[in-house]
Every structure is written in C-alpha cells, then in structure tokens.
C-alpha cells in the first residue's frame, strides 16, 4: 500500500518513535516540581522548546506547546484579537485558509467582530496588495497560511507581512504545512504549527508570539506554558515532536529536490495519460510533495475507492466525497474544477517506483469511474432557442456529464440551459467551459434549481 496523503498527516518519523519511547521513561513527572523526577522532566521540556524555537527562528520564551495545531490557531487568533481590542475588532483572512482559521473567524464575527476575506487567483495565490487594501484603522489582526493544505501553493508571506508591519498590524501565519521544510519568511508576529504534519506525534501544536505583540490569553489559564496553553504538558510527545522536526529539517533540502522531481512527473504526465484533467495550484511556487488535479466526469468518492483498491491512499477536495456535500472552499475560491479532485501528497522517502505505478493505475481507475457514470439518461428538451438539460436532483459530476453529451446538439452560437440544484455545478460548469473552450453565459433562477447557461463556441 502506498500512502500518498502526507498533507493530512505524515507517517511517524523513526526519530520521533525513538524519542517518544525514550522519554516515556524519563519525562513522565510534573516539570513544575523541584524534586529529581520533576527536574528531569523540566530539562526535557526546556530542551524540546529550544530545539523547536531554533527550527522556527524565534526565542524559546516566545514559543509554547499546545494540544494541537488547531488549538494553537484558535488560541493565537483569540489572544491576539483580545490583546488589540482597543484598536478595533477587524480581522483579515485569506479565502483559502485552513478551516481552523475560518472557524475562528466565524466565531469572531458571531461575537460582533468584522471579517474581510481576501481572494486568490486561479493558482491559489493571494495578492499582497489586496491585504494592504483590506487594512483599516480598526484592523486588529491579519492571518495568512504559509502554504495551502489542498493544492500546495506557497503564499507571499514576506510581502504581506511588510504591508501589515507598515500599518502596525500583527500577522499570524499558519505554518502547519511548511514548517517541516524550512523556516517561514520573516516579518510575521504570530505563528502556529502542528507536529503530525512533519512526522511528529499527533496532539502537539506550536504557538509562537513575538515579543512586543499585544496578546491576552482567553479562557481559564494556569501557570503552565506562560499561561497560553493550560493543562499538563505531554512531555514525551513534545520531545518526540521537537526531535522529529530537527530530523526532517536535516533531510529537507535533499528530500525536497527529490520530491519536486516526483510531483513534477505527476503534473506533467497526468494530462497526457488522462483526458479532460485540470492540474491546479501554482506550477512552481508550491510545496515539494503536493500535486492536485481534477478529472472531468468523475465522482471523487468513487475514484478514491478505485485508487484505494489499487493500493494508493490519496485525498480529495471534491464535493462528491462522503464527508461533504459542497466543494472544497479552497477549490471554490480558486475558481477551478472540483469534480474528480485528487490530492497526492508524498511523504519523505516515497519511492519513484511507487509514483510510476500510480501513473500506471490512474488512467484505468478514471476510465472505470467514467464508464460507471456515463450511462444515466439525460432529460433534454428544446425550449425557445435553448436546449434544456434537466439534472435537478443529481449530484456532481452528472450535470457536467449531461452538458457534455448534448453540447454538440445545438448549433454554434446556440445555448444549453442546465438545470441543477447541486452546489458544485456553480463551480464545475464554468470550469468545464474554460477547459472545453465554450462560453459560460451565467446563471439565472429557475422553477427547479438554478439554470446555468452555456453557449457553444465550437
């Protein structure tokens, strides 16, 4: 079985396993106690903090360990907003942030704050000038991920940070996906990360608050972790997290070159092996091991099952997966095809032979899914000068499949009117038009669902 979902969680690094086992015997005591066992635990905790701080590029007393990366994000955003409440209650985030950031923004908005979402281009990149334009006198905090978790696109952190610094606004960077590969570009004020993303154990997050940043921890606090992360520290897991971070950083430069070659092989060959595919994300400014593509006329959940049966574990941002009924907010913000979406994220050590075997299996898997979905009969009628396709009640990718079947039945310049009530159609029909060089006219209300208008150009 080839595990190609490292962006969700990386396999436990051998160094993490060794450090975890060793520290179970040495780091079980309360590090706040003065007796021998407590002092030993404190030494382990302090050493782990020093190692993590060195990797981040901050002072050890600026870094605390939390119970997860999500907890670090929530605590960091809440504490920074509370610390600057006198300035205002305006928060800026990008439209492609991790759900932990967007959920924190929703809570802030529900509590009376205001939120501005900065959009991205089709490669998933924010425009630094858009952040600068979003800044207001009452802006308390801006948030930006260092790299996207779904498509691998790296963000211009330094440029955004420069604009925020000029306005006196702190920038919180979610570095969960990138920290294992190297330090984040300078200029940020707060940083969060999650150990299981780089091969450490789950249940360990990092929260860094630079000196001089106004910060007021929210909720009940205690004396541990500078009052910013209440509760007894999981010292064995923390030690393993810091040890594995140091280990992956030592391997990062060489491994990044190798994984970039493998993902470039996938990016280059998939469009030739599988027809009607859109490779998404920035072509060069991206994480070493992540490549994402979407396949027309494919049910994402079924495709993942096909690949799983063939021995490959991948993930998807498609709306056709069992966990969601709407397209990934990342793909939606980028305006790219969502149906049949596949994210391949290679863990360090991935063999080139496994990638080649994936490329051999993929065309058959896609063809099998398309064959299963190609049979449903469409209900089409001519109404005025438009061909109407009724796909109401049918989930993606059926509306797009039915559109593709009938586009040749109208003359050049003619209109196909697709009726659909699946949210994914709003994203996938325009994406199909761009891929197939047809004109997406727009949408309009309909008695049943929404009507999506497509004009045949060729």
Orientation angle between helical segments 235-273 and 36-56, nearest 10 degrees: 30
Q: CB of 225 within 8 A of CB of 64?
A: yes
* Catalytic site residue from 58, 143, 295, 320: 320
CA neighbor of 54 nearest in space, from 246, 305, 199, 286:
246
Check the CA dihedral 240-243-246-248 and report its sign: negative
User: At what angle are helices 14-26 and 235-273 packed, to 10 degrees?
Assistant: 170
Query: How far apart (Å, rounded) are the C-alpha atoms in residues 297 and 299?
Result: 7
Is 320 known to be catalytic?
yes
Treating both helix axes as pointing N-terminal to C-terminal, what angle do 36-56 and 14-26 enclose, rounded to 10 degrees?
150
Q: Please say whether the beta carbons of 362 and 354 come within 8 A.
A: no
Q: Which residues are catalytic?
A: 320
């Amino acid at each position: 079985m080839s595990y190609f979902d490292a962006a969700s969680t990386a396999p436990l690094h051998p160094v993490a396993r060794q450090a975890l086992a060793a520290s179970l015997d040495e780091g079980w005591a309360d590090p706040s106690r003065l007796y021998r066992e407590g002092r030993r635990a404190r030494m382990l905790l302090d050493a782990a903090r020093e190692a993590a701080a060195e990797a981040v590029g901050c002072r050890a007393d600026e870094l605390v360990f939390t119970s997860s990366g999500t907890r670090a994000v929530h605590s960091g955003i809440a504490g920074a907003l509370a610390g600057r409440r006198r300035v205002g209650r305006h928060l800026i985030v990008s439209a492609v942030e991790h759900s932990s950031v967007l959920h924190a923004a929703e809570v802030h908005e529900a509590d009376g704050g205001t939120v501005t979402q900065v959009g991205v281009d089709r490669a998933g990149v924010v425009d630094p000038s858009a952040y600068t334009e979003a800044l207001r006198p009452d802006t308390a905090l801006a948030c930006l991920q260092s790299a996207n978790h779904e498509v691998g696109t790296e963000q211009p952190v330094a440029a955004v940070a420069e604009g925020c610094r000029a306005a006196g606004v702190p920038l919180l960077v979610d570095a969960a996906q990138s920290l294992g590969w190297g330090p984040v570009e300078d200029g940020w004020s707060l940083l969060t990360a999650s150990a299981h993303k780089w091969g450490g154990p789950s249940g360990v997050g990092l929260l860094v608050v630079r000196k001089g940043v106004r910060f007021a921890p929210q909720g009940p606090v205690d004396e541990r972790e500078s009052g910013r992360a209440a509760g007894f520290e999981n010292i064995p897991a923390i030690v393993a997290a810091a040890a594995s971070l140091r280990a992956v950083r030592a391997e990062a430069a060489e491994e990044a070159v190798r994984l970039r070659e493998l993902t470039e092989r996938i990016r280059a060959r998939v469009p030739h092996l599988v027809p009607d595919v859109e490779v998404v994300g920035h072509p060069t400014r991206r994480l070493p091991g992540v490549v994402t593509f979407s396949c027309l006329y494919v049910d994402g959940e079924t495709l993942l099952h096909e690949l799983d049966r063939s021995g490959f574990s991948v993930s998807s941002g498609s709306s056709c997966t069992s966990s969601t009924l709407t397209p990934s907010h990342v793909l939606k913000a980028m305006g790219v095809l969502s149906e049949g979406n596949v994210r391949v994220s290679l863990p360090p050590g991935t063999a080139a032979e496994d990638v080649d075997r994936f490329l051999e299996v993929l065309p058959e898997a896609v063809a099998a899914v398309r064959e299963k979905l190609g049979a449903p009969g469409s209900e089409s009628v001519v109404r005025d000068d438009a061909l109407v396709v009724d796909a109401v009640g049918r989930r993606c990718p059926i509306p797009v499949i039915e559109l593709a079947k009938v586009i040749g039945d109208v003359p050049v310049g003619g209109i196909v009117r697709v009726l659909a009530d699946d949210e994914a159609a709003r994203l996938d029909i325009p994406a199909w038009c761009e891929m197939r060089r047809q004109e997406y006219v727009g949408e309009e209300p309909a008695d049943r669902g929404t009507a999506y208008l497509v004009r045949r150009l060729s």
